[in-house]
Structure 1
Amino acid sequence: MAIVVAQEVLARRYEARLFSLASLFHFACYVALIIIPFVISYTSQSLWIMEKTGREQPEVHFHHEVLVVAQGAHPSQRFAFSSSAGVNALFGDALRAVSVRLSEADENDDGRPEFLHLEVSIPLRPGEDIVGLTVLAALDYSLQDNVRFGTNATAIVQYAGGVAGSGLQFWGDLELHAARALPPFTSSAVGPPTLAGALAATTADALAPAALISRYMAFPTAVHVAPRYPVWLVGGGGSRFTANVTLAVRPAVVRYQPRVAEMLKWGWVQYLSFFIPLWFALRQIKWFAAVSQITPCRVVVDRPHVRKINDHDF
């Protein structure tokens, strides 16, 4: 009685001279195995991923620079205030001692506020009413996860009630708009002009909301306020107009250029997705060509090494 203690596979090999049709076909299959997956993945535009999309909670903070412009009931009547003393001097009789309160709410304590609150209170004299309001507040906007990106931002809140109002309740979302994919590493992006730069104007006309908004919108990458539910509180004749603005900082859908490591990883996976099935197919084709002698070659069969076993070996 005997047991199997080891085993080996005896192979049937197909050999050919170096300069023969079989050898040429063999090397051609290897070349095709390398080139064809690359050509297919490249022409299908899936080899190199040039743009990716990710969701990220941005970090947004107030920059304590504010410009408030309110439109009175008469076209020539307006009320204004800014955080710059030099600009306030340009407003003349339109200047009012506006009270502005800024606050941030970080509900999950991750250092990235989810809500920004802005309260504007404008004192009014008898007979004065407000029919429209524009508020510009400077922000610092940055991304850290998918890309390193930072830009100057201005929250622009504008609403016209059409009739005299006692206040405004405004809810909106902060959204990042980029005309092109963001580069992976950008410590400080070239963005719109800061509100502080706009407040360096030397004339009151340069501080008109239309002029400021026009310059801000000219930049392809900027943060905008998407109004959701503005509520105009009708009722004039009061001594104060109060606006409460709540801006939600939603997770940004960021289009960005992947890093080199991400591109190589994606390209390698795409290459292998075509390489593996092609390798299996060419392997079967080469075997069929050799067995059928389509490419003439010599058959060599391994012979087992047999040693006579005597009874006393057990």
Structure 2
Amino acid sequence: MAFYDVYSHPALIRYRTSVCTKATLFLFLVLCLTYISPLLVAYRSQGFWIKRSTYEEQPVVRFQYQILLVAATSTEGDYLAWSTFPHLNNMLGPNLRIPTVSVREEDQNQDGKLDRLTFQLQLPLKPEEQLYSIQLLLTFSYQLFRMSTVVMQSLGYLQHSSPVPGARLWVSGDLRLQQRTPLPHRGLYDVYNVSVIDASSPFASSYDLEKILRSYQERNLTTVLSCPMPVWTVGRAAGSPFELNAEIRYPVEVISYRPGFWETIKFAWIQYVSILLVMLWVFERIQRFVFQNQVLPTVPIPVEKTHRS
């Protein structure tokens, strides 16, 4: 006659011992290894505490209509200049040359954020003048909102030179964010929300390109015209102006920031628990082997389940 199992249930056995025994010491050691070793493993594996994280955001960029232009008309130091700063223009004297400027900002994907600046400049030249190099400073308002609120004034610097006099310069590039330190995860960050160029200063040193750029580069947060691809066209007709056309895009940025407390704990907890589950399984098997085989002397006591009606 064949038999088969109709029902089964686990038997509960308690293993008892006194306080000062090897079994108690073993249990204490197992508990420490089970719950402390995952913490040590996660910490020593580099990355338990997240010190820096990143996210993507397209900044809100606005051209501030502040321009500083310097153009070399010879290899002997002769130059022409112009700016939107009256104090500087008054100091230029015969080197002042007023260009024609056209600016257009576009929102190409209609998401409410501007995507590109189209800048066109025509600098009138005398028939005997030739242009060998050009330097251009543009100022922008730069804002971020997704994590911390960043508000700052920034620069775009464009420079090109050639041993052959030119008639036209075309440049296309991205206004990229550069970080030396991560941003905070929340709050207002407006340390650099000040004018990059002091337009109220009557001193020529305040408009010196080297001084402006050196001071700007000391900041922890800047923008730079990245990957400019200049096309220098030669063969200017006598009496024709020098043309500068620039396309500057405002791309999506990968921004580095310092995570807050809860974000740090969230990632630390995931790492700890993932290792803890493995340790629980391993040390449960070790304890079962030790006590069932009486490697350490204990008193096994079967416990019968009582059913309440």
Give the TM-score normalised by structure 1. Answer: 0.86
CA distance in 1: counterparts of 2:131 and 2:210, whole angstroms: 18
CA distance in 2: counterparts of 1:191 and 1:103, whole angstroms: 25
Task: Say if 1:78 and 1:193 are closer, same or farther in 2 by CA, change over 3 A.
Answer: farther
CA distance in 2: counterparts of 1:75 and 1:118, whole angstroms: 29
RMSD (Å) for aligned C-alpha atoms: 2.5
Deviation at 1:154?
0.5
CA distance in 1: counterparts of 2:91 and 2:30, whole angstroms: 80
- Kept in 1, the 8 Å contact 2:148–2:188? The answer is no
Q: Which residue of 1 aligns with 2:269?
A: 268
5+ residue gaps, structure 2: 1-6
Deviation at 1:40?
1.6
CA distance in 1: counterparts of 2:266 and 2:304, whole angstroms: 45
Deviation at 1:206?
4.3
CA distance in 2: counterparts of 1:186 and 1:67, whole angstroms: 33
**Matched letter for residue 72 of structure 1:** T
- Kept in 1, the 8 Å contact 2:48–2:268? The answer is yes
SS at match of 1:180: coil
Q: Which residue of 2 aligns with 1:56?
A: 57
Instruction: Indicate yes or no: 2:234 matched with 1:227.
Output: no
Task: Say if 1:290 and 1:169 are closer, same or farther in 2 by CA, change over 3 A.
Answer: same
- Kept in 2, the 8 Å contact 1:52–1:255? The answer is yes
Deviations for 1:236-283, whole angstroms, at most 9, x for unmatched residues?
A: 333311211111222222222112121111110111122110111111
5+ residue gaps, structure 1: 1-5, 307-314
Deviation at 1:110?
2.0
Q: Which residue of 2 aligns with 1:151?
A: 152
CA distance in 2: counterparts of 1:277 and 1:51, whole angstroms: 28
Deviations for 1:71-117, whole angstroms, at most 9, x for unmatched residues?
A: 11353422211112222111111112222222212112222222122
Q: Which residue of 1 aligns with 2:289?
A: 288
Superposition map of 1:142-221 within 5 A? 142-185=143-186, 187-191=188-192, 194-197=195-198, 199-221=199-221
Q: Which residue of 1 aligns with 2:133?
A: 132
Q: Which residue of 1 aligns with 2:115?
A: 114
- Kept in 2, the 8 Å contact 1:98–1:123? The answer is yes
**Matched letter for residue 274 of structure 2:** S
Give the TM-score normalised by structure 2. Answer: 0.88
**Matched letter for residue 232 of structure 1:** W
Instruction: Indicate yes or no: 2:18 matched with 1:21.
Output: no
Deviation at 1:186?
5.2
**Matched letter for residue 89 of structure 2:** N
SS at match of 2:112: coil
CA distance in 2: counterparts of 1:46 and 1:217, whole angstroms: 31
Report the count of equivalent residues.
Answer: 302
Task: Say if 1:205 and 1:234 are closer, same or farther in 2 by CA, change over 3 A.
Answer: farther
**Matched letter for residue 229 of structure 1:** M
SS at match of 1:135: strand
- Kept in 1, the 8 Å contact 2:152–2:194? The answer is no
CA distance in 2: counterparts of 1:203 and 1:267, whole angstroms: 55
SS at match of 2:268: helix
CA distance in 1: counterparts of 2:64 and 2:262, whole angstroms: 36
- Kept in 1, the 8 Å contact 2:196–2:216? The answer is no
Q: Which residue of 2 aligns with 1:310?
A: none
% identical aligned pairs: 26
- Kept in 2, the 8 Å contact 1:123–1:239? The answer is yes
SS at match of 2:98: coil
CA distance in 2: counterparts of 1:242 and 1:287, whole angstroms: 85
- Kept in 2, the 8 Å contact 1:166–1:235? The answer is yes
SS at match of 1:195: coil
SS at match of 1:124: coil
**Matched letter for residue 249 of structure 1:** Y
CA distance in 1: counterparts of 2:110 and 2:306, whole angstroms: 75
SS at match of 1:294: coil
Task: Say if 1:304 and 1:292 are closer, same or farther in 2 by CA, change over 3 A.
Answer: same
